[in-house]
């Protein structure tokens, strides 16, 4: 884990509704928040308001996430193309009741495409 101070795109406490029968948070819940965090970064970086997700690379879960964990999603821009942006998202869980113990959960690279109000692909920066 890095000790640098980073600004999380999103940060949430995992609740019972997010868990499976084994008491761990569904991978799909984490994936949906990865998508949200990537979208937040795409908008922050480009100032464009509308993106759709077109790709998410392989996801490997290194550690489980439990009820009460504070999960942070850190996002940074990897590449900006003409109509697309690639964002890297790192996911880290601070264990509930562990006095700051943090574990790396997973990471992903996502590709988003800029769209207009008619849901048509457009050049980033155009309205």
d(CA 61, CA 56): 14
Q: What is the pLDDT of residue 40?
A: 96
Would you place residue 4 in the very low, low, confident or very high pLDDT band (cuts 50, 70, 90)? low
Given a cut of 80, is residue 2 above it in pLDDT? no
Report the candidate in 8, 10, 90, 87 with the shortest Cα–Cα distance to residue 55.
87
Over residues 73-93, the mean pLDDT reads: 97
Task: Provide, rounded to the nearest whole percent, the portion of the chain with pLDDT above 70.
Answer: 94
pLDDT tens digits, one per residue of 25-81: 999 999 999 999 999 999 999 989 999 999 999 899 999 999 999 999 999 999 999
Q: What is the pLDDT of residue 1?
A: 46
Q: What is the pLDDT of residue 126?
A: 64
CB 98 within 8 A of CB 39: no
């Amino acid at each position: 884990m890095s000790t640098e101070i980073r600004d999380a795109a999103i940060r949430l406490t995992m609740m019972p509704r997010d868990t499976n029968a084994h008491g761990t948070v569904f991978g799909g819940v984490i994936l949906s928040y990865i998508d949200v965090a990537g979208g937040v970064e795409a908008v922050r970086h480009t100032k464009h308001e509308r993106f759709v997700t077109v790709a998410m690379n392989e996801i490997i879960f290194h550690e489980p996430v439990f009820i009460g964990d504070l999960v942070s999603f850190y996002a940074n821009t990897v590449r900006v193309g003409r109509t697309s942006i690639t964002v890297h998202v790192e996911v880290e869980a601070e264990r509930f009741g562990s006095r700051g113990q943090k574990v790396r959960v997973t990471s992903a690279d996502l590709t988003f495409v800029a769209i207009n109000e008619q849901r048509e692909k457009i050049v980033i920066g155009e309205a």
